[in-house]
Structure 1
């Protein structure tokens, strides 16, 4: 199906040049845009995208405020940042790089933490080596090509060999303009025997938007490195979303995920980790709360090529009102991945008669000498749990609220920044108790 846009090739090229991007990135944008009508849309399981609006894209440049210090940051940002102790922080206000703070000791060690456009301009060869090369391909489908063509924000992180970053790196994206399109790209590369923790927050301060959400994160863990990736997404209604977060782990590498996916718009989420090296591992934890008339689709995969690799998936979701969700969890052990271990658990609580949750655990095993298992459930809050709490004088509403918080706690508790934990707890509370 052919699509038309309010942007054109000339506008895309002018935008790339205004950001001082290297010629290779300008070429990537142009090639991706010119091929949009020849590349197919993604096909998420049990979700038809023909009525989803991914294309109402206008060329809107929003010059938002910038900040000279952490003290000057908006209150919405301060709520999710431990201001007194934060060492590495990047704030994006709509599409504007608004603030950055990097520990000088890390810069002296060769660590790079820069907005994606500056990184392309100043570290062109390094970014080009990894940008949409391993985890995500430009021409994978139409929405990845659209992302490459219209990329307008994001962050690049590079950790050199043998460097262990003890303080988390945090990115906060503040969204308060209904015309803004978020095409953010996050690229994290941990070189051999390095370690980094990265946490991001997407926050809307408006009730609804007319913009588009197309996010891609690529996480590359070299031999014996470790990347811990946490996020809390809480963007408003109206942002039709396609979100990809993917990792590639080499030998003895670890990529752990803790994702609080709380956006209020219809969203397709693709989280995939490729365990390419022997003894590589990934532990993935996701919590979701859907409300209103949201339509949500989550495809979560850990694909294991390495011997003795370990892939564990835990997904807990709560659906209320008329919200519906598809949870597809896929553990795929490839031929040759002997002694691999693939485990997954997907559970959905439905809080109303009209809400829907579909949990589908899938194991694909192409090797004999492996360990694998799965569990899945979709249903109401356990009446025995409610009875136990109510028998101790707690009201039914409060008992249900406590059960839900306990159900989602496995992800909340592993987020590495206390302010982010508090934010996710508050978002869960807001979404569970809200009236739609």
Structure 2
């Protein structure tokens, strides 16, 4: 006769936290089981980077913040990031909880849902139970299990069938207390033949001498048949914060996911973005941009897994490395047996601005089907002397010439951001990081 397995202290604590939030029993059980499983799982093992040597114990504790009536109540160093063109909807998470939610009357009348994930667990139980951790297996490793046990706040977006949003939903997620847990879970469900653009900005309070902290986030995007989702995200966390982010999309027949990712944090970064193309004719387009400086370690992985016939994936990653920064860029195209007529293309490029900077670009093609097309390109190098010479011959000073070359290198990603205000903010952030390395200030956040 098997003896029942006793709950660990962490499992009991996770269940107690869930009950204190009034979450449904199925979610309480999930949190408890995940906390229990995490104790026996290992951290992910990305190529050439040891996550277990990072400050991964600095997860903080659940500290909910007071709700706000308006973005004017945000801290001064963060206030400038609140989008001015958020006519569709805006949601703000501060540390461990969502503090502001706003959705247009028109979208509410069409059945669009924008709320925090904790509220969705109580008020939209069935749709949440169906899709939460459907794109991510929480038992995959220690990172996913810990997140399943301790996520907080979070964002839930649901777009009904045939509803098309003309303007993007925007989100601001920020940490200004290193002692508070900062682990949002973002879940977007785009029902059949709907369309949505979503933009978020993930930041932390700048400052010297702050204790270590972790931003641990999982994104799940469910793209139903014929739906279109554009997901744009800019991360700019201070150098005391380890940024651990997994992004996953399941794309059904004729659906499309577009990722536009700016991994621009000042601390160590583990970023893994994957599209699973299950439906025939489904497509994925992923663009990732990053700048590393100081002694940063960046692990940036982009993946596309083809299951359906006539699926198409495009992946472009561009990173600029300064000083002693290290970047490991992985592009993975996997075409499963039966995914005939699939096409997968990927490009990884690393531009190094310092002799001590390091960059690896690793294109990986895994093909289990004959009737497909796939290709890759990868390069690691310095700024072209010929380009600099050409610009200087036109009367441009060397420093300005180098800046223009780098801007041109990054431009294909920047131009894809769907909101002009966010594009301009990203340009300013890129300029600041290129000029000053890892130094942060209030002005940079704005």
Normalised to the residue count of structure 1, the TM-score between the two structures is 0.94
Counterpart CA distance in 2 for 1:38 and 1:175 is 29
Within 5 A, what are the aligned runs for 1:39-118?
39-61=41-63, 63-74=64-75, 76-77=77-78, 79-83=80-84, 86-118=87-119
Counterpart CA distance in 2 for 1:86 and 1:350 is 40
Contact 1:79 1:419 in 2 (8 A): no
Counterpart CA distance in 2 for 1:10 and 1:365 is 44
Contact 2:243 2:269 in 1 (8 A): yes
**Offset at residue 328 of structure 1 (A):** 0.7
Contact 1:66 1:99 in 2 (8 A): yes
Contact 1:267 1:295 in 2 (8 A): yes
Partner of 1:269: 271
Partner of 2:202: 202
Partner of 1:141: 141
Partner of 1:232: 234
Partner of 1:397: 399
Q: Is it true that 1:159 corresponds to 2:159 in the alignment?
A: yes
Partner of 2:435: 433
Give CA-to-partner distance per residue, 1:410-433, whole Å, 9 cap, x none: 111110111211121111111111
Counterpart CA distance in 1 for 2:66 and 2:98 is 9
Q: Which of 307-316 and 199-208 deviates more?
A: 199-208
Q: Which of 410-419 and 281-290 deviates more?
A: 410-419
**Offset at residue 15 of structure 1 (A):** 2.1
Change (3 A) 1:275 1:209: farther
Counterpart CA distance in 2 for 1:65 and 1:206 is 21
Partner of 2:442: none
Counterpart CA distance in 2 for 1:244 and 1:435 is 25
| Counterpart selection for 1:344 from 343, 346, 350 | 346
Give CA-to-partner distance per residue, 1:37-89, whole Å, 9 cap, x none: 2222212122222312212334352x435321345445555534442553200
Partner of 1:4: none
Q: Which of 311-320 and 382-391 deviates more?
A: 382-391
Counterpart CA distance in 2 for 1:219 and 1:309 is 18
Q: Which of 168-177 and 278-287 deviates more?
A: 168-177
Give CA-to-partner distance per residue, 1:382-432, whole Å, 9 cap, x none: 111111111122221111111111111111111011121112111111111
Change (3 A) 1:249 1:85: closer
Q: Which of 402-411 and 279-288 deviates more?
A: 402-411
Contact 1:81 1:419 in 2 (8 A): no
Q: Which of 311-320 and 298-307 deviates more?
A: 298-307
Counterpart CA distance in 1 for 2:243 and 2:427 is 23
Contact 2:86 2:169 in 1 (8 A): no
Contact 2:86 2:168 in 1 (8 A): no
Aligned to 1:258, what secondary structure does the other structure show?
A: strand
**Offset at residue 197 of structure 1 (A):** 0.6
Partner of 1:317: 319
Aligned to 1:156, what secondary structure does the other structure show?
A: strand
Counterpart CA distance in 1 for 2:206 and 2:65 is 15
Aligned to 1:153, what secondary structure does the other structure show?
A: coil
Q: Is it true that 1:334 corresponds to 2:342 in the alignment?
A: no
Counterpart CA distance in 1 for 2:231 and 2:86 is 19
Contact 1:296 1:326 in 2 (8 A): yes
Aligned to 2:53, what secondary structure does the other structure show?
A: coil
- Mind listing any 5+ residue stretches in structure 2 that lack a counterpart? 1-8, 439-446
Aligned to 2:289, what secondary structure does the other structure show?
A: strand
- Mind listing any 5+ residue stretches in structure 1 that lack a counterpart? 1-6
Within 5 A, what are the aligned runs for 1:172-187?
172-187=172-187
Aligned to 1:57, what secondary structure does the other structure show?
A: coil
Counterpart CA distance in 1 for 2:366 and 2:240 is 36
Aligned to 1:419, what secondary structure does the other structure show?
A: helix
Contact 1:348 1:378 in 2 (8 A): yes
Counterpart CA distance in 1 for 2:14 and 2:73 is 33
| Counterpart selection for 2:214 from 187, 196, 212 | 212
**Offset at residue 94 of structure 1 (A):** 1.8
Contact 2:61 2:179 in 1 (8 A): no
**Offset at residue 341 of structure 1 (A):** 1.0
